[in-house]
Amino acid sequence: MYLLNSEGILFVSNCFGEDRVASLIAREFKFLCKQHKKSIRIYGATLMGNGREYTVNNIELVYHSPLPPSGGFPTKSIKGFFADLISGSFFNILKFVKALKKLYNEIDTIFVVGDIFLLFLSKLALKNKKFFFFALAKSDYFMPHYLIEKWFLKTNNIDVLTRDELTAKNFQSDGIKAYYFGNPMMDNLFSKGLNVEIPEDKRVIGILPGSRFEAYGNFKKILFLIDKIERNDLFYIAALPHTLDIRKIIDISLKSGFSVSQKGYITRLKKDLKEVLLLYDSFVEVVNLSEIIIGLAGTANEQAAGLGKPVITFKGCGPQSTEVRLKEQEKLLGGASKYIKNFPYGVIREIEFLLDNPDEVELRGRIGKERMGGPGGAKKIAGWLFSKIFSLEEN
């Protein structure tokens, strides 16, 4: 049993989706500490982004940085790499390491959520500390870890958590201490109970444009798609995250030929007989109301599939929604998400196919639920982490 000698634990994550997972685990861990009367300081640090997920979960944020021009994917395109280079974003990595080094005497345990590179940076800053690693960025379903990554984990004797059972079993067969307790991405997905009126004669399609800067271009592309769909029995609802500026969304809508009206928390777009509702921070409502999802997001696409809805994707306008990434997501989700190369008409045919084949909708929904797992992962992981760190009195 590993015993905590100092009074601090640091949760480290890459960015948006990883921040959310790390903060949920940290919140559950904090609850256990309070329940068992353990005095410990809990910190959070994100390599990129504002770290909002930590602050809303009452975790002390010790480092955050602006999102780089590449959106956090500098190796996915030459353009993104040089944009980050010119902007000086790579210096944020050095600032991150420096910030963690300042915490050296205040923490003894580090829980890293994301990729091996983040784990390496954290170990570089906090040598001789106890590390736990949640390998959220990769899965053997679509992107197995490289041999050198496995060597690093094994050589450093790191306990590894995985996002699925397949990856955990493969790690174990390679002699790595790996565990699977569920996927916290499916935790804390609650409906706000918003009253959204849907015309009785309409079928609902959900829209997930993403949460990063490219989402504006993605949204414009989705409006273009909607304009090309000839059916008039469809009703569209878009889930907009807090990171998107409604003024920019409205400007895009107007330039795309849609009229705009606002009432309360709902913004309504209209063009001929096409109607689109825009809802902020209402992801679960949008997914639950929809038969199928048009998604150009990362985490949100996976969560929608995990909630049982088939996701249709196509190439978007940035590093989060490239053909490569969305095809990887298709593999990860076992076909619950489907990438369509032919835009817009191939996408329209896929929408028509799903609307006319409820059995296929049900099949893809079931696959998505199986691949993502149910809620409760954060609580299980926090419990495991707590038992690894403390000798509980009942033991």
pTM over 0.95, yes/no: no
Has residue 152 been placed in a domain? Answer: yes
| Per-residue pLDDT, 78 | 60
Could you read off the pLDDT of 267-291 as tens digits, one per residue?
Answer: 999 999 999 999 998 999 999 999 9
Strands 259-263 and 266-271, how do they pair? antiparallel
Q: Looking at the structure, tell me whether residues 217 and 229 fall in a common domain.
A: yes
d(CA 386, CA 33): 8
- Give just the sign of the alpha carbon dihedral 77, 82, 85, 86: negative
Has residue 194 been placed in a domain? Answer: no
d(CA 349, CA 227): 14
Which band of pLDDT confidence, cut at 50, 70 and 90, is reported for residue 242? Answer: confident
d(CA 144, CA 93): 25
Tokens representing 212 are: 């990063």
Coil, helix or strand at residue 276: strand
- Helix, strand, coil distribution of the chain in percent, nearest 5: 45, 20, 40
Do residues 55 and 61 make contact, with C-beta atoms less than 8 angstroms apart?
Answer: yes
Tokens representing 82 are: 């040089």
Could you read off the pLDDT of 105-159 as tens digits, one per residue?
Answer: 999 999 999 999 999 999 999 999 999 999 999 999 999 999 999 999 999 999 9
Give me the CATH number covering residue 111: 3.40.50.2000
Has residue 395 been placed in a domain? Answer: no
Q: Looking at the structure, tell me whether residues 120 and 238 fall in a common domain.
A: no
Burial group, residue 142, by CB count within 10 angstroms (0-12, 13-18, 19+): middle
Q: Looking at the structure, tell me whether residues 247 and 363 fall in a common domain.
A: yes
The structural domain count of the chain equals: 2
- The DSSP 8-state label assigned to residue 212 in this structure reads S
> Domain residues for 117?
8-187+375-389
Has residue 379 been placed in a domain? Answer: yes
- The DSSP 8-state label assigned to residue 65 in this structure reads B
Q: Looking at the structure, tell me whether residues 166 and 252 fall in a common domain.
A: no
Q: Looking at the structure, tell me whether residues 31 and 180 fall in a common domain.
A: yes
Q: Looking at the structure, tell me whether residues 68 and 212 fall in a common domain.
A: no
Could you read off the pLDDT of 193-239 as tens digits, one per residue?
Answer: 888 889 889 999 999 999 888 999 999 999 999 999 999 999 999 99
Q: Looking at the structure, tell me whether residues 221 and 313 fall in a common domain.
A: yes
Could you read off the pLDDT of 2-26 as tens digits, one per residue?
Answer: 444 457 999 999 988 899 999 999 9
d(CA 282, CA 278): 9
Share of the chain above pLDDT 90, in %: 81
Has residue 101 been placed in a domain? Answer: yes
Burial group, residue 57, by CB count within 10 angstroms (0-12, 13-18, 19+): buried
Burial group, residue 181, by CB count within 10 angstroms (0-12, 13-18, 19+): buried
Q: Looking at the structure, tell me whether residues 287 and 301 fall in a common domain.
A: yes
Has residue 3 been placed in a domain? Answer: no
Q: Looking at the structure, tell me whether residues 356 and 207 fall in a common domain.
A: yes
**For the chain, what is the mean pLDDT?**
91
Q: Looking at the structure, tell me whether residues 381 and 356 fall in a common domain.
A: no
Could you read off the pLDDT of 310-344 as tens digits, one per residue?
Answer: 999 999 998 889 999 999 999 999 999 999 999 99
Has residue 218 been placed in a domain? Answer: yes
Q: Looking at the structure, tell me whether residues 177 and 103 fall in a common domain.
A: yes
Q: Looking at the structure, tell me whether residues 170 and 252 fall in a common domain.
A: no
